[in-house]
């Protein structure tokens, strides 16, 4: 069965531009594997600065942040990722960024799984705001978390359904 990825990047870019001073923003890749996605986001944000978190994962669902590559001092750090599960990696990243002088840490996540200790970790963390899409409904604890804000991707999902029903291309939506 053919498949297409549906990207929430436009919604995130619009939200970042609407809610942040462009001169204060740095896009931070949460790991080396996310550099391509983070670089693309930085480019869409008028070629804003890019930083990278170098981490080592000892066991599954746990990570230790080792180093920040790039300048984050006095900056609003935008950390994009596709999914957040137990929030350990993101919370460790936020602490490392604040330890290096970041003004704020805002994560933009497409799929908010938020399982196990995620909400407790977020509440205790250095993360200032977690912006997620509504690709997955939030659980009751996540709905109560003051650090979480949801941006709707309902319009793009509806457009995808319409195009698929009419046997039209989805690719044109993302050009």
Q: Which of 10, 17, 43, 55 is catalytic?
A: 55
Distance CA 63, CA 58 (A): 6
Distance CA 88, CA 55 (A): 12
Distance CA 37, CA 16 (A): 15
Catalytic annotation present for 75? no
φ and ψ of 59, to 5 deg = -135, 165
Q: State the Cα angle at 62 between 58 and 63, rounded to 5°.
A: 65
Catalytic residues: 55
């Amino acid at each position: 069965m053919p498949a297409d990825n549906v990207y929430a990047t436009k919604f995130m870019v619009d939200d970042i531009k609407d809610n942040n001073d462009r001169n204060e923003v740095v896009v931070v890749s949460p790991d080396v594997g996310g550099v391509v996605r983070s670089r693309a986001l930085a480019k869409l944000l008028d070629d804003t600065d890019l930083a990278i978190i170098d981490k080592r994962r000892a066991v599954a669902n746990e990570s230790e942040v080792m180093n920040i590559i790039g300048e984050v001092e006095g900056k609003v750090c935008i950390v994009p990722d596709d999914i957040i599960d137990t929030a350990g990696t993101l919370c460790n990243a936020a602490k490392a960024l604040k330890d290096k002088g970041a003004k704020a840490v805002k994560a933009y996540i497409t799929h908010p799984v938020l399982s196990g200790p995620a909400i407790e970790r977020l509440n205790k963390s250095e993360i200032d705001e977690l912006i997620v899409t509504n690709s997955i409904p939030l659980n009751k604890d996540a709905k109560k978390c003051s650090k979480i804000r949801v941006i709707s991707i309902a319009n793009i999902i509806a457009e995808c359904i319409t195009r698929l029903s009419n046997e039209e291309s989805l690719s044109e939506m993302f050009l």
